[in-house]
Structure 1
C-alpha cells in the first residue's frame, strides 16, 4: 500500500495545534518535549535536503510517543476535570494517536532524502533546494583555483 504524500508543514501544523490545546491540561515536561521536537521539525522544513534534520525530527517524534504515554498516564486524573481540561486532555491523546502515522509519513520523507538506502530515485513529490541551473561562482579563476575578493 502506497502512503500518500503529505507536506511536512501540514504534519507540523496539526501537531502544533493539538499540542497547544493539550497544554491546557498538561504542563511541565509535556510542552517542553513536544514543542522542542516541533522546532526540530521547523528545521527539517527549512532545510529540505538535510538528512540530519529529518532524522532528528523522526527520532524525536518516536521519543515523544513514549514520553506522551508516560506523561498522560501519570498526570491524567480520573475525576475533577472541567470541560476545558477534558478538551485539552482529549487533544493531547489525539496528538498521541496521530504520531505513529506521522512517523510513517516522516520516515518516507527520510528515505526520499537519502536515509538508510542512499539517494532515492523517486524525489519528484518533494521540492528540493538545489536547482538544475546552479549559478556559477564568480570568484573561480580560469585555472580552477578559487579567488576571493578578500584574498583568502
Structure 2
C-alpha cells in the first residue's frame, strides 16, 4: 500500500491545532508532552536532511500516543463538563486517534531521509569495528601527556 505524500508542515499544523484545543481541558503534562513533540517536528521541518530530527519526532509521536492514553484516561472529567470542555476533550481524543496515522506518514518520511538503513544511506565510508586498520588521518603514535 502506497501512503499518500503529506507535507510534514501539514501534520504539524493539524496536531498543533488539536493540541491547542485539547489544552482547554487537559493542561500541564498533556500540554508539555505534546508541545515538546511539536517542537521536535519544527526541528524536523527546519532540518529537512536530518535523520536525527525526523527520528526524534517519530519516536516522540509514538511515546505521546501512550502518554495521551494515560493522561486522558486518568484526567478525563466525569461530571460537570461544559460544551467547551466536551469540545476540548474531543479534540484531544481526535489528536490521539490521528497520531498512529501520522506516525505511518512520518515513518515514510524517515525512510526517505535514509533512516533505519533506508536506500539513501551510504555506509562505504564507515570503518568496521573488527578492522585492524586505524583511521587514515590520525597518527598511530598517539602523544600521551606525561604524568598520566
TM over 0.5: yes
Alignment RMSD: 1.1
Q: Which runs of 5+ in 2 are unaligned?
A: 122-148
Q: 2 CA distance for matches of 1:69 and 1:62? A: 11
Equivalent in the alignment of 1:32: 32
Equivalent in the alignment of 2:16: 16
3-state SS, counterpart of residue 59 of structure 2 = helix
Q: 2 CA distance for matches of 1:9 and 1:118? A: 22
Aligned residues: 121
State whether structure 2 residue 61 is matched by structure 1 residue 61.
yes
1:103-142 matched pairs, under 5 angstroms: 103-120=103-120
Equivalent in the alignment of 1:124: none
Equivalent in the alignment of 1:47: 47
After superposition, give the CA deviation of every residue in 1:71-103 in whole Å (9 maximum; x if it has no partner).
Answer: 000000222100001000000000000000000
TM-score between the two structures when normalised by the length of structure 2? 0.80
Structure number with larger C-alpha Rg: 2
- Range moving further from structure 2, 109-118 or 4-13: 109-118
Q: Which runs of 5+ in 1 are unaligned?
A: 122-152
Question: Residue 47 of structure 1: CA displacement?
Answer: 0.4
State whether structure 2 residue 88 is matched by structure 1 residue 88.
yes
Equivalent in the alignment of 1:134: none
TM-score between the two structures when normalised by the length of structure 1? 0.78
Structure 1 outlier segments of 4+, above 6 Å: none
